[in-house]
A and B are shown apart, each in its own frame.
Chain A
Amino acid sequence: EREREREREIQTEMVATATSTLLTSSLLPCLGLRGSTRSLQWRKKETQCTRKAGPSIITAKFELKPPPYSLNALEPHMSQETLEYHWGKHHRGYVENLNKQIMGTELDGMTLEDIVTVSYNKGDLLPAFNNAAQIWNHDFFWESMKPGGGGKPSGDLLELIDRDFGSFEGFIKELKSVASTQLGSGWAWLAYKANRLDVGNAVNPRPSDEDKKLVVVKSPNAVNPLVWDFSPLLTIDVWEHAYYLDFQNRRGDYISIFMEKLVSWEAVSSRLEMAKTRAVEREREEERRREEEEENTADGEPVEMYLDSSDADASETE
């Protein structure tokens, strides 16, 4: 009985940590935003703790998440056959391989996003990276599309697009060009860039809303903008397996059809909201931390700040 209790504890702990990380990153109530409720549900279902017989090993396995529509729902723009192979074989393969790879290692039990950032290892990829990142990328990709998609975005998203790309057409042009020029396998992204410098005492002396902008980027193989600390909003899979059955080598046509008929602007908008709140939260935390530091050092001792390099040089040459 104690074992069962412990198991329940661990399960709730895992769920709690998963949900708590999600909650800190989105202050908006999760009801009503299709995107975020889905991800909450997803987090809970995704990591399943299973008990193995014998010595108590708790393993967390990732599950293959189905797209939010049936496999033939994107016809005729993306055929059912493509979905069957792309999701049923490629995506499933990544999930199965990752589960095998992380079993019993320190990555076991971490959330998918954490595994991605940890195994990216600043570019020196660990073996789990390719599988983990590809799972994340494909989940994100299916959710970036919907039957009857396309059209134009609206509201905040359209405003930002107009501000950062000049016009919606300008944005489409850039995305198409970036996706077409990704050599080999990879992804094209629309991302929200509001990152901090990863340096201890670096502070943006003149922070402004303009620093937070939308960018279009491309990445090779399995890399995604999470590893650059961007917030991805939209992605197009330009691995050849994504379009070869439907378009053969006509990548340009595939990208056009994707933008005109498949992209789900609702998903993009809700991700933008989450990204914005996350950025604001981070700024607040940074301010808080800076204030704490100032308090700690505000006891009369002069803080040695290498602001003026010429002073330092002069003192060295003395």
Chain B
Amino acid sequence: MGWSCCNSLLPSNSHPLVTTKMSKVLKSSKLPHLYRQQRRELPGAQRASKAKAYHGLKTPPYKLDALEPYMSQKTLEMHWGEHHRGYVEGLNKQLEKDDILYGYTMDELIKVTYNNGNPLPEFNNAAQVWNHDFFWESMQPGGGNMPILGLLRQIEKDFGSFTNFREKFIEAALTLFGSGWVWLVLKRNKKQLAVVKTSNSVNPLVWDDIPIISLDMWEHAYYLDYKNDRGKYTNVFMNHLVSWNAAAARMARAEAFVSLGEPKIPVA
């Protein structure tokens, strides 16, 4: 679980916090399935042309039947195998067309193609690829229960109590009309956790916030298992699927970017 977490939070290559060592390791061909951007070697005569960056379909950190009975294998097979794969292939096709979006990492690609609210055609595919990667990692077999330690303290600070947060989360999920996502985010400007719902493929990265967990409220996510019973789906997610471990790791990383309290300056 640890390595997949770190990988999904991989910052952009130009980020000052990334050590060259890390990026070298990940660029090596020994770990192609981890590194999301692969330089494909074009055969023979075409080697003279430019190399292109492609994005790959990342597998969830558990087997497709691991979330039974709360999320069936059939759903995972359709949702990951068809929808998520479709977004990846669609994105790759779009990026093939020209080089303008060459070399962007996923996070950057999303922000650029969001274009401040006037999304470019690549936005939908790029954002949905990212969203689904994030979603699979927001769940785990044997998930649910409650967060502990720092994350719990932060939730209690920003929502009053964990129950209150849970209610707000479920309410956002049930009042979302159409397709979309529900998020627990850390808002950078307010330095607070908040529950946010977004439509279609929008995600909090476009507002520069840091997502902590997400719930897919597109109908394809729950229709095979729960038909129209969104309430049941959301409750099952909170009780049995949500991965507070992943959330804690993301929170820990987020604290490197957002100061949530008094800085802990060590006394010599």
Query: A residues engaging B (CB < 8 A)?
Result: 85, 89-90, 93, 130, 183-186, 220-222, 239-241, 244-245, 248-249
Contacts and interface: CB of A to CB of B under 8 A. Distances in A.
A183 B227 contact: no
B126 to A, nearest CB: 13
Given A85-B227, A89-B228, A184-B199, A244 B220 contact: yes
Contacts of B83: 249
B78 A248 contact: yes
Contact of A244 (B180, B200, B201, B223): B223
Given A85-B228, A222-B177, A248-B224, 14 more contacts: A90-B228, A183-B124, A183-B201, A185-B179, A186-B178, A220-B178, A239-B178, A239-B219, A240-B219, A240-B223, A244-B220, A245-B223, A249-B82, A249-B220
Interface string B197-241: 001110000000000000000111001100110000000000000
B223 A185 contact: no
A228 to B, nearest CB: 19
Contacts of B201: 183-184
Nearest to A93: B228
B61 interface: no
Given A220-B178, A240-B179, A248-B82, A184 B223 contact: no
26 contacts: A85-B228, A89-B227, A183-B200, A184-B179, A184-B180, A184-B199, A185-B219, A186-B178, A220-B178, A221-B178, A222-B178, A239-B178, A240-B179, A240-B218, A241-B219, A241-B223, A241-B228, A244-B219, A244-B223, A244-B224, A245-B223, A245-B224, A245-B227, A248-B82, A248-B220, A249-B82
A222 B218 CA distance: 15
B60 interface: no
A185 to B, nearest CB: 4
B56 interface: no
B141 interface: no
Contact of B200 (A93, A130, A184, A240): A184
B86 interface: yes
A248 B76 CA distance: 12
A76 to B, nearest CB: 19
A184 B218 contact: yes
Nearest to B83: A249
Contacts of A130: 177
Contacts of A85: 227-228
Contacts of A183: 124, 200-201
Given A184-B178, A184-B218, A221-B177, A249 B228 contact: no
Contact of A240 (B86, B177, B220): B220
A222 B199 CA distance: 13
Most buried by B among A90, A220, A244: A244
Contacts of A249: 78, 82-83, 86, 220
Nearest to B79: A249
Interface in B216-268: 218-220, 223-224, 227-228
Nearest to A89: B228
A221 B180 CA distance: 11
Most buried by A among B78, B86, B178: B178
A183 B201 CA distance: 9
A254 to B, nearest CB: 13
A183 B228 CA distance: 20
B259 to A, nearest CB: 36
Contacts of B220: 240, 244, 248-249
Nearest to A129: B177
A248 B78 CA distance: 8
A240 B227 CA distance: 11
A227 B29 CA distance: 55
Contacts of A186: 178
Nearest to B228: A89
Contacts of A240: 179, 218-220, 223
Contacts of B177: 130, 221-222
A85 B224 CA distance: 12
A246 to B, nearest CB: 11
A-B pairs, 7 with minimum CB distance: A240-B219, A184-B179, A221-B178, A184-B200, A185-B178, A244-B223, A249-B82
A185 B227 CA distance: 16
A116 to B, nearest CB: 15
Contacts of B78: 248-249
Nearest to B200: A184
Contacts of B218: 184, 240
A248 B179 CA distance: 16
Contacts of B199: 184
